[in-house]
Structure 1
Amino acid sequence: MGKSERNITNWKQYNQALVNRGSVTFWLDEAAVNAWHCTKHHGGRGRGFQFSDTAIETALMLKGIFKLSLRATEGFINSLFQLMKIPLIAPDYSCISKRAKRRCCLNKRNLFRFP
């Protein structure tokens, strides 16, 4: 590996940038929070969905990014809501699993593949 072309002059800022790379701080925007619960019926027989496609996709995205199991994903989302002081609950792990089969497919090669 060759010598770096840029010399670092501000070591304090450079070190802080390296520390910030490991930060897992992120926020759910207000639009995602407002769209968390499903407002329309799926059109078939039976009870409608409690959680929107946005909620399921968010759960699957977090599952893929942090390599969590479905149960750990449910706990992770619930803890995020507690930290953000949002009065919502995460979809149950079985709900995520069933809806993932209908909506999205997680693949090792590509994170999402929409039908």
Structure 2
Amino acid sequence: MPNKHNDARRHHMPKMRFQVTNWAAYGACLRRRGSLTLWVSNKAITAWRAAPRQTLGGQARYSQTPVETALMVRLVFHQPLRQTEGLLGSLLDFVGVALPVPDHTPISRRAAQLTQMMATALPAGLVTLVIDRTV
């Protein structure tokens, strides 16, 4: 056996410490892990684009709502900004909402300026992301 000398340094899969007794419930739980439900409120759709500025300077295209949404999607799916931009665009297409998706650069720049505290860690268990714009 050529590999018997490296046996102590190999990574072995540990043995399962429990046995599954209810395979139907276990399989349903695994399927629910891949489930994705997305709700977008009408107020969030109307607040997606930024209001015109009254001061000098360039006009912002997006309000804080799409930036916060992109950052929450990034936090949930553990992705870099460019992949988050693509995922948010495909999610909005999937829902059937014709909204522009902010580029990764304004997301990065405006993320540092957020006044609201964003969560840095997700709780264990089911995560519900609600996109809502209330005044």
What is the match of residue 27 of structure 1? 39
- Alignment equivalent of 1:76, drawn from 68, 71, 87: 87
For residues 56-90 of structure 1, what are the alpha-carbon distances to aligned partners after superposition, in whole Å with 9 as ceiling and x for unaligned?
A: 11110111110111100110111111111211111
Give deviations 1:31-57, integer Å, cap 9, x for gaps. 21121111142x553112110111111
TM-score normalised according to structure 2 size: 0.61
* 2: CA distance, partners of 1:28 / 1:73: 17
> Aligned AA for 1:27?
W
Question: 2:120 — aligned with what?
Answer: 110
User: 2:85–2:101: 8 Å Cα contact kept in structure 1?
Assistant: yes
Whether the aligned pair in 1 keeps the contact of 2:38 and 2:95 (CA below 8 Å) is no
Q: Secondary structure, in 3 states, of the residue corresponding to 1:103?
A: coil
SS in 2 for 1:102: coil
Q: Name which one, 1 or 2, has greater alpha-carbon Rg.
A: 2
Counterpart secondary structure, 1:78: helix
Q: TM-score, normalised by structure 1?
A: 0.70
In the TM superposition, structure 1's runs of 4+ consecutive aligned residues that sit over 3 Å from their partners are 11-18, 104-107
Measure, in 2, the Cα distance between the counterparts of 1:47 and 1:74.
Answer: 22
Find the counterpart in structure 2 of residue 4 from structure 1: none
Task: Indicate which of 15, 39, 47 corresponds to 2:51.
Answer: 39
2:104 pairs with 1:93: yes
The alpha-carbon deviation at position 27 of structure 1 amounts to 2.0
For 1:33 and 1:14, the matched residues in 2 are separated by 38
Q: Are residue 57 (structure 1) and residue 68 (structure 2) matched?
A: yes
Match of 2:132 in 1: none
Tell me the number of residue pairs that the alignment of Structure 1 and Structure 2 aligns. Answer: 103
SS in 1 for 2:113: helix
User: Contact between 2:44 and 2:65, CA under 8 Å: does it hold in 1?
Assistant: yes
